[in-house]
Amino acid sequence: MTLENSQYTVINSHVKSLPMLSWELIKKLLWDLDEEMLEHLDDLAYEHDWHFNYFLDSYSHYKGYSIVITDENSEIQYCSNNISKMTGYESNELIGHSSTILQGTKTDKNSIRLIKKATHDELPFNARLVHYHKNGQPYGCETIAFPIFNGKSEVSHFIAFERKYFV
């Protein structure tokens, strides 16, 4: 696969856990996240009464992943400190920006359209896209994202696990 190619997949859209899982349960599955990260996630979770339809356990244990939380408008609300190794941006530089800050001319527009559809349809997805480092260099980014629901069963955020797949 060349860096110009992109991939997109909806993840198990028919497999949901009922009833929804609370943040307190999911947080226990994410036991190896650092304390500062959990504090930030706790603040968002309690403010928005987070609930989950999917188990996230397997993704949190890959140390190579960065975690990005976006709101329902794709604005970055939080990202882990290790995001800077992949993007060149410090986490605080990305907060408040749309995730489009990392896109550029080689980012596949059709894949972006499919991601927007998945977020609109409240579906988890896996995508491989060309993103751009702060210095302008392209890199491959694998994103695995899941919707987060509030207490009214409305999507309030997405949690994404991201890693570079090309050096």
pLDDT tens by residue, 1-51? 344 444 545 444 444 445 566 776 666 666 566 777 778 888 888 788 887
pLDDT at 81 > cutoff 70:
yes
Q: What is the mean pLDDT of residues 93-112?
A: 94
pLDDT at 154 > cutoff 80:
yes
Tell me what percent of the residues of the chain surpass a pLDDT of 70: 73
10 Å Cβ neighbour count for 114?
17
User: Would you list the domain boundaries of the chain?
Assistant: 7-164
pLDDT at 167: 47
pLDDT band at 54 (very low <50, low <70, confident <90, very high): low
What DSSP string describes 3-48?
TT--EEEE--TT---SSPEEHHHHHHHTTTS-HHHHHHHHHHHHHH
Q: Do 17 and 55 contact (CB within 8 A), yes or no?
A: yes
Beta strand pairing status for 21-22 and 7-10?
unpaired
pLDDT at 60: 53
Q: Which two tokens stand for residue 67?
A: 């975690």
Single pTM value for the model: 0.78
CATH code of domain 7-164: 3.30.450.20
* DSSP H or E run through 93: helix 91-94
pLDDT at 152 > cutoff 70:
yes
Q: What is the mean pLDDT of residues 81-101?
A: 93
Q: What is the mean pLDDT of residues 142-164?
A: 90
